[in-house]
Amino acid sequence: MKTRENLEELGIRILNTSRTELLLSMRFMGSALDSLSYVMDLTTRTAGTDGVFIRFNPTFLMELWLNRPVHLNRLYVHILLHCIFRHVFTAEDHEDAELFDLCADIAVESVIDSMEYKAVQTTWSDFRQGWYERLEKDLGVLTAEKLYRHFTMQRLGYDDLIRLHNEFTKDDHAFWQRLQEQKEEKDGSRQPEDHPEEENKKSDSPVPSETEDKWKSLADRVKVELEAAGSGGSMEYGSFLRTLRFVQKRRRGYTDFLKRFSVLHEETKVDPDSFDYAYYTFGMDMYGNIPLIEENEYREAKKIRTLVIALDTSGSCQATLVQRFLNETADILQRQESFFRHAEVLLLECDNVIQEEIHFTDPQEMKKYAEGFQIRGGFGTDFRPVFRRVGELLKEGRLINLKGMMYFTDGFGLYPESPPSWETAFVLYREDPRSEPSVPEWAYTLYLDGSDL
């Protein structure tokens, strides 16, 4: 028992030493470095994280610290970047778990290799350098999701797959799967599963969704710190800020994103929360069958009342993708928890001028419209006419309770110079690895690919 305690204490001291060295070099990572506790876990031969702990094998850490201390620092940063980029929480979304693990490792290693901090600097192999050059040429920003789609389409050969694993795999991702099991147990979709082989698994496991929310906030803080450092520190932190910005832009669910545009309003619905059983019981006892209070027939709800959808019908827009986008939106419209029963959707088709203006009050109407959709116009893209038209309708009082607008486009065109009075999200249906559209800072950006639509 004493030996076990000594081993754990040794591992914790080694990780604390690495953490201190990294903190002195990368002050912008301070909040992230303070966010993982340490625990010995002999189910792993190396080390990994579940978003709360760095779980380590003490023998592995001791050997790494004695022989390659820089690689220990790199491992620490590698694990942190998995959390900051939220690979730990999104791995479950990918069918080929082994391939996604590899892509996540390549993504974080490419960021670390781009840094010029002495604490993490090493010499690259020719094999690694060659793959970076090839992938950056094809994809631009290297994220786990982009790499996953790329390798899924390219079909890596067995030899390449093995060599890439040997080159880039650094930590144990088994704890990611364990986190997913905890999530399924929390929501009741999976029965609790014992892991008798785990000798030191904490019983007070946090709620996975709370852990992910914590890392969302930490990623925002790190991004703010990097932006505050300005261009003067860009050589040192390399591609970190660029990659973080790209990841944060992409990772938004469409349904969740629409909730930004909801308003508080009364709707006709029994409100059981306002039902006072004391008065009800008193009335029934005193008068036999006369309750003194009934449930309210109205309750306040926060849903979408009015929404503007703009469609880019320029030559770069594909009719099939627009149809799928409209069908998905119509399906969401029909869900009572998202929209009020009497909701209004204004749909504008526009290239460099407005081609069509349609008002919907029934989701089925949008379904029919999507089925017969045809591209009208096909010229260059100018987003400004849509903003002008919406502004006119608001001024005339023909649009009420408008909170936001969704603009489905490839993102390349002429934007308004100043932000409108309503929130705007540009829904980009594809990514160009060679260039990114210059979406204004005042607008939200949501990327959708074929799997999202």
Supply the pLDDT for residue 433.
46
Confidence band of 266 (pLDDT split at 50, 70, 90)? very low
Q: Domain ranges in the chain? A: 2-197+205-225, 256-263+304-447
Confidence band of 313 (pLDDT split at 50, 70, 90)? confident
Q: What is the mean pLDDT of the chain?
A: 79
> Which of 46-55, 303-312, 343-352 is predicted least confidently?
303-312
* Per-residue pLDDT tens over the stretch 160-177: 999 999 999 999 999 988
Per-residue pLDDT at 406 exceeds 70: yes
* Per-residue pLDDT tens over the stretch 226-244: 888 765 556 778 889 889 8
Per-residue pLDDT at 398 exceeds 70: yes
* Per-residue pLDDT tens over the stretch 93-149: 788 899 999 999 999 999 999 999 999 999 989 999 999 999 998 888 899 988 988
* Per-residue pLDDT tens over the stretch 115-127: 999 999 999 899 9
Query: 256-263+304-447 domain in CATH 3.40.50.410?
Result: yes
Q: How far apart are CA 376 and CA 347, in angstroms?
A: 14
